[in-house]
Chain A
């Protein structure tokens, strides 16, 4: 584990994480979470769904950041005007002025690039996150936290790849911002995955203490009980990223491409497929007639198509009910 991870997962990092309960507030309101045992069930479910998804996305973002050379923009993106603007944005941001204006500029840039059909790798990853987040309230919460984390990370760990992310996606989803920030801080995809998994349960646990007046020591005991699962989730997330998604454009020598994943042994040679994630039984067959839905787009565009997509229907419902609640202590 990289020491920077301690900072990234610290609730004292001024990135606004304390304002989000990840559905806990609504679960408390509805009575579904009312004591330490029900909170334990809530946290375990959250870790293996939203947490496992965030871990895979953070690992993917970190791997993509690692595979992006410092002069991150592909040649066709080096339009003269844009490069100049990028410099200006960066300088302005360092002094923390005119943030909103520049974000608006960046949004305009992103739109313009998309209109030109530019397949920016950060935009592609962002779309994959969107497709995995059916609830609009959760998309908003994720982007709010991602934007704040990105702003903090650009000042704490200045890095061209963070600037690149901010240019392409000014309001990134939180796991993406976390993965790129982890890379900028010198951490590896597995660290990013671990941080994301921890983030999925630590904030909700603290929120429950504040909402229900639970014994903080008992709740930290729950988090301690979850630590083996945190590692399992992070390792599994990292495995899906490093073995199934080599970047065809930028081979990543620094990234482990070791033993083929069991799932690969059955043959997922192309990335145009969307195979299921590793089944506990390991008994997997790739059905031959499976049409490759996105084949026409080429490998780059569907690089992350097969990432996990774990859903938690109850969390979706809680998030939307919370967004409509009249009295709220937490943003989400």
Chain B
């Protein structure tokens, strides 16, 4: 494939689980994707390092799919995925199937770290994470952006398979731009007393978020989904739903609604001769409504 200079490597380091007697080997795996500008300036994949169960397959010039090549993660597994999107390059990452988190010895963990350079584009939209009953999962996302990066980052968490009680999950999502915090969120799933609270998830069986770097011009709300302009810059589409299909359609609706209001904002800014991201260092104190008083 032209422009494919990917280097493939496996990073599997299975270590026997101490003191379980089950004979299962917990997995410690670290997969990575990195892009670079090719000699003619077109973006290429510089690095594609699979580490089962996180196996990566190139599916386009700058597109990669995660293929799970082992069950899980299972309790005790420590998985990491590292994305490095060089300035002015593009990466699209998806997965071929949802991730089913299963119980095991202790806590499973997936850490996703992404750095997105100036002018680079990242679309991260894997299939949902399903929390099977009894699982103990930790999902950490650290997204570090440079100004002018363009990102769509979607996370979907499903509370158990059909008719199943949810496993436990602690998710933390941190987004910074040029070192400034844009969004920090934590979800705890699997506490029966809290999951059903009308303040937390209510009757929903899934929760999902899409983070977008572009700033929506206004808040948009519909049944189970809200498009929330963040304080500094960027937008969060936040959704609750009864099932994964409804969740995806609500998130996609919110992403479209956000894009529509962004287009309006961008048009206004072109007239004003400024760009949204240049303003990111400055902050509205108290929001527009308060400042007007």
By a beta-carbon cutoff of 8 Å, the part of chain A in contact with chain B is: 23, 27, 32-33, 38, 41-46, 48-50, 100, 107, 110-111, 114-115, 127-128, 130-137, 139-140, 143-144, 147, 169-171, 274, 276-277, 279-281, 283-285, 287, 289-291, 293-294, 296-297, 301-302, 305, 308-318, 320-321, 323-324
Contacts and interface: CB of A to CB of B under 8 A. Distances in A.
B253 to A, nearest CB: 14
A138 to B, nearest CB: 9
A293 B285 CA distance: 25
A289 B193 contact: no
Contact of B286 (A50, A147, A287, A305): A147
Contacts of A134: 183, 185, 228, 230, 236, 238
B267 interface: no
B242 interface: no
14 contacts: A43-B199, A49-B200, A107-B285, A131-B181, A139-B287, A274-B174, A289-B82, A293-B142, A293-B174, A296-B179, A301-B179, A302-B179, A317-B224, A317-B226
A163 to B, nearest CB: 17
Interface in B81-106: 82, 106
Contact of A49 (B199, B219, B285): B199
A111 B279 CA distance: 12
A49 B176 CA distance: 22
Q: How large is the interface on B (under 10, 10 to 19, 20 to 34, 35 or more residues)?
A: 35 or more
A127 B281 CA distance: 11
B186 interface: yes
A305 B142 CA distance: 12
A137 B229 CA distance: 10
A320 B181 contact: no
Contacts, number: 212
Nearest to B78: A285
A132 to B, nearest CB: 5
Interface of B: 30, 78, 80, 82, 106-107, 109, 111, 113, 115, 136, 138, 140, 142-144, 168, 170, 172, 174-176, 179-188, 191, 193-194, 196-202, 204, 207, 219, 221, 224-226, 228-232, 236, 238-240, 281-283, 285-287, 289-291, 293
A136 B186 contact: no
Q: Which of B143, B179, B204, B282 has the most CB of A within 10 A?
A: B179
A314 B186 contact: no
Contacts of B224: 317
A46 B293 CA distance: 30
B185 A311 contact: yes
B198 A42 contact: yes
Contacts of B286: 107, 140, 143, 147, 170-171
Nearest to A314: B202
A320 B228 contact: yes
Contact of B183 (A46, A110, A131, A312): A131
Contact of B287 (A110, A143, A287, A297): A143
A274 B172 contact: yes
A204 B1 CA distance: 60
Contact of A309 (B78, B185, B240): B185
A130 B289 CA distance: 16
B138 A279 contact: yes
